[in-house]
């Protein structure tokens, strides 16, 4: 359903300029937006592309206010504004409430009348599905697991027994919440399993990506605080706590009992050792291994720069002999000091 720019501004604010009554039905990138679509520029360097665009309307930053005479909304954060407009123009489809006949809901489970349970979903004994929550096709919600209101489980999600989700939690396909942590005791070379009796607790407004795994606690709970965003294929081990509003990119692993602060940003394929604490507002770069606690905000990195393979081979040989190289420098310093002393 199309919206006029004045309707949009009345919802989300911003300064509306040169409105011509256009109604926009979709968001689109600057280079292929058409006359019924709205595009945005968040970085000033792209303002030069505004003139060539066929977009019917624009969302621009203050410095782009006069870059066009087209209908436009000026706002300090065009990317955020675009997010709001896109959500308005692309409302998530809301399946009809009710339990699909091909779902299996245990008689001892409670499903809110406004919730939707799709074909093939299996809901265990004592589970509780809140108002307007959607359980997608072939999801499994274990015994006594609970979902708050307005949650969205895409297809093929698994939630183990007793785990608890807040409101507006989004779980993508293939993610697993509450699998056993990797807890093992060793008895003369053989591994003995430690029962994992904690839960996973997930706060409001959390989103978890596809095939991300979050293990239940061993004794205490694994906790994902409100507003955390996890990308795909992330491993969260038992007893981890991730602070509110932290965002973690794909392929990252967090070992057992690590405590991650609030408002952190963790790059892809980072690895965090167990039993360490990371302060609020820390940033960790892609491919970085964090081996000890970080007590101060800042950006932390460990990643070998890539090279053409032949060059890499020449340098890599020295990496394994750095200690010897350093020794040779020390020796040179000694010898040269002696020479200098002789003058």
Residues with catalytic function: 238
Contact status: 315 vs its own copies (CB under 8 A): yes
The stretch near its own copies (CB under 8 A) out of 2-10, 15-23, 55-63, 289-297 is 289-297
User: What is the bridge-based pairing of β-strands 26-27 and 37-40?
Assistant: parallel
* Residues 17 to 56 in contact with its own copies, rule: CB under 8 A: 26-29, 32
In the bound state with its own copies, the residue whose beta carbon lies nearer, of 110 and 283, is 283
**In a 3-state reduction of DSSP, which class is residue 72?**
strand
Whether the CB-CB separation of 221 and 237 falls below 8 Å is answered with: no
Q: Residue 241 CB, nearest distance to its own copies (Å)?
A: 14
Shortest distance (Å) from residue 97 CB to its own copies:
17
Q: Are 260 and 278 spatial neighbours (Cβ–Cβ below 8 Å)? A: yes
Residues 6+ apart with CB under 8 A from 107: none
> Of these, 45, 107, 340, 341, which contacts its own copies (CB under 8 A)?
340
Select from 44, 42, 39 the least CA-distant residue to 22: 39
Strand intervals (E) in 100-230? 104-105, 110-111, 116-117, 122-123, 128-129, 134-135, 140-141, 146-147, 152-153, 158-159, 164-165, 170-171, 176-179, 184-187, 190-193, 200-202, 207-208, 213-215, 222-224, 229-230
As measured in angstroms, the least distance from the Cβ of 162 to its own copies is 11
Q: How far apart are CA 256 and CA 90, in angstroms?
A: 39
Q: Which of 175, 196, 176 is nearest to 185 (CA)?
A: 196
Phi then psi for residue 11, to 5 deg, are -85, -45
Nearer to its own copies, 140 or 151 (CB): 140
Q: Can residue 4 be called a binding residue for its own copies (CB under 8 A)?
A: no
Binding residues with its own copies: total (CB under 8 A): 131
Q: Which residues lie across from 98 on neighbouring strands?
A: 116
Q: Which of residues 183-202 bind its own copies (CB under 8 A)?
A: 183-187, 189-195, 197
Least distance to its own copies, CB of residue 196, Å: 9
Identity of the residue, 10 or 337, whose beta carbon is nearer to its own copies in the bound complex: 337
Residue 122 lies near its own copies (rule: CB under 8 A): yes
Q: Which is nearer to its own copies, 10 or 307 (CB)?
A: 307
Stretch that binds its own copies, among 12-20, 66-74, 107-115, 117-125 (CB under 8 A): 117-125
Which residue stretch of 12-20, 44-52, 66-74, 333-341 sits at the interface with its own copies (rule: CB under 8 A)? 333-341
Separation between Cα atoms, residue 40 and residue 26, nearest integer Å:
12
Dihedrals φ, ψ of 333, to 5°? -60, -40
Say if CB 144 and CB 123 are below 8 A apart. Answer: no
Q: Would you say 195 and 216 are in contact if contact means Cβ atoms under 8 Å apart?
A: no
For the bound state, the minimum distance from the C-beta of residue 179 to its own copies, rounded and expressed in Å, comes to 4
The span from the CA of 41 to the CA of 216, in Å, is: 42
| Residues 129-158 close enough to bind its own copies by CB under 8 A | 136-138, 140, 142-143, 154-156, 158
Candidate list 12, 110, 235, 279; residue touching its own copies; CB under 8 A: 235
Q: Which stretch binds its own copies (CB under 8 A): 1-9, 16-24, 63-71, 315-323?
A: 315-323
Q: Which stretch binds its own copies (CB under 8 A): 4-12, 43-51, 126-134, 170-178?
A: 170-178
Judged by CB, which is closer to its own copies: 66, or 304?
304
45-104 residues in contact with its own copies (CB under 8 A) are 77, 79-80, 82-84, 86-87, 90, 92-93, 100, 102, 104
- Per DSSP, 175 falls in state -
Smallest distance, Å, CB 155 to its own copies? Answer: 4
């Amino acid at each position: 359903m199309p919206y006029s720019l004045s309707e949009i501004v009345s919802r989300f604010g911003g300064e509306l300029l040169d409105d011509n009554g256009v109604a926009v039905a979709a968001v689109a990138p600057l280079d292929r937006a058409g006359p019924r679509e709205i595009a945005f520029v968040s970085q000033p360097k792209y303002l030069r592309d505004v003139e060539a665009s066929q977009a019917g309307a624009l969302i621009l930053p203050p410095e782009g206010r006069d870059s066009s005479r087209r209908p436009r909304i000026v706002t300090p954060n065009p990317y955020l504004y675009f997010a709001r407009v896109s959500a308005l123009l692309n409302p998530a489809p809301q399946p009809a409430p009710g339990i699909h006949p091909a779902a299996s809901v245990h008689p001892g489970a409670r499903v809110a009348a406004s919730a939707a349970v799709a074909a093939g979903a299996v809901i265990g004994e004592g589970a509780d599905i809140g108002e307007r929550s959607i359980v997608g096709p072939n999801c499994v919600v274990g015994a006594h697991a609970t979902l708050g209101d307005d949650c969205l489980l895409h297809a093929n999600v698994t939630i183990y027994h007793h785990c608890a989700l807040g409101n507006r939690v989004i779980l993508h396909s293939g993610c697993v919440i509450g699998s056993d942590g990797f807890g093992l005791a060793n008895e003369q070379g053989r591994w003995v399993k430690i029962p994992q009796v904690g839960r996973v607790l997930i706060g409001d407004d959390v989103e978890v990506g596809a095939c991300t795994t979050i293990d239940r606690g061993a004794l205490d709970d694994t906790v994902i605080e409100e507003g955390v965003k996890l990308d795909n294929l992330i491993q969260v081990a038992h007893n981890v706590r991730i602070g509110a509003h932290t965002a973690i990119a794909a392929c990252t692993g967090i070992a057992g009992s690590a405590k991650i602060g609030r408002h952190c940003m963790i790059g892809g394929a980072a690895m965090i050792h167990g039993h360490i604490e990371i302060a609020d507002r820390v940033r960790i770069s892609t491919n970085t291994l964090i081996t000890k606690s970080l007590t101060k905000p800042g950006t932390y990195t460990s990643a070998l720069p890539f090279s053409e393979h032949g060059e890499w081979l020449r340098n890599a040989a020295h990496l394994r002999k750095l200690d010897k190289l350093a020794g040779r420098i020390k020796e040179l310093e000694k010898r040269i000091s002696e020479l200098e002393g002789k003058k």
